[in-house]
Structure 1
Amino acid sequence: MLLGVDLLNEPCSNAVELARRCTAAGLVLSAPVTDDDLASVTAFLGRWRGVVECVDRTERAARLNVLLAEYACAPRLTDHVGDGWHLHFRDPGVATDRQIAALITVGTALHLTGLGMDRLGACAADGCSRVYADTSRNGRQRFCSPACANRSAVRRHRAGRAVARVEP
């Protein structure tokens, strides 16, 4: 799921970059990334943004369930690269774009069910379109970064001072 946040916030410009970022996130790709994979992942991320930005828990679950039905499959144990047994929620040999979508979709489901349905969102700062996965201790993250949180606090502070100056 963190890969999805990263890819939404900083879209890839080409297939090589998508492959590099997937590998950096620890994803072992089953096939080389193509331009078609990039286009498909970009389209998927547009749909996934709908899950991220949805604030109604029931609707968020419904949207995520649609993606899970489309991209995930029954879990299976695998040690496909010899680095230890782990779960896959996709069929072996699935196309690269679907592999990435399955990882993000299942990761999102595990994140939301493990930490809370409100632990994913769009930045609350004016003018920011970035998203975040809330892994904070208290679960109250509203901004994509400390910089956006600080800018927003400064804006609120200045707006409060401006109102105070106008009032007699």
Structure 2
Amino acid sequence: MHINPYGEEPVRLALALVHDPPATVAALASRCREAGFVIDVAVRPEDLTETLAFLDDWLAVVDAPDDATRASRLNVLLQRAAAYPRLSNHAEDGWHLHYRDPDLPLAGALRALISVGTALHLSGRGMHRLGRCSAAGCARPFADLSRTGRQRYCSPACGNRDAVRRHRSLTAANRP
């Protein structure tokens, strides 16, 4: 998977894995391939467990109470995951930067990809661009990929439900 300058694809992959965690290592590998991640190492049984544990750590970045804490938590993930950047054409699909050592197991490669992608997303678009849905009864994480940077909901459906709830509440309060 090539990381665009905004880190969008790795962040989307992280959210997809958090919202609907794979049940098997084969499902994890399949979901990664569908997202455009080239797997060029043998997939190990422990890759699923390690990836799910990493995603719990990544959610701590999403849930950080302020920018400094978010940066600190993400720096820990980057320290554990990333190596010096290097040019690679491993899949013969064009030269691109890798932020990980070659032959890293799938879980380690995902850790590096998602950590660096998240850092690019936050540094390029704003440190506030990760969060939890504001709709009552929903706490799904989201990445704000909007132009304005004011996303509050995980999906349009949650935004619509919350708008209807607010409207009904106002209407009920204004009835005699």
TM range (shorter): over 0.9
- How far residue 129 of structure 1 moved from its aligned partner, in angstroms, is 2.7
Q: Unaligned stretches of 5+ in structure 2?
A: 1-10
- How far residue 21 of structure 1 moved from its aligned partner, in angstroms, is 0.8
- 3-state DSSP of counterpart to 2:174: helix
- How far residue 126 of structure 1 moved from its aligned partner, in angstroms, is 1.5
The match for 2:32 is 22
Closer, same or farther: CA 162–35 of 1 in aligned 2, 3 Å: farther
Residue number among 156, 164, 168 corresponding to 2:174 in the alignment:
164
Aligned positions of 1:5-154 closer than 5 A:
5-154=15-164
Runs of 4+ in structure 1 over 3 Å off: none
RMSD: 1.2
* Structure 2 length-normalised TM: 0.90
Aligned length: 166
Q: Deviations over 1:108-134 (max 9, x none)?
A: 000000111111111111221321111
Task: Determine the C-alpha separation between the residues in 2 that align with 1:77 and 1:22.
Answer: 21
Q: Unaligned stretches of 5+ in structure 1?
A: none
Task: Determine the C-alpha separation between the residues in 2 that align with 1:32 and 1:17.
Answer: 14
- How far residue 83 of structure 1 moved from its aligned partner, in angstroms, is 0.7
- How far residue 74 of structure 1 moved from its aligned partner, in angstroms, is 1.1
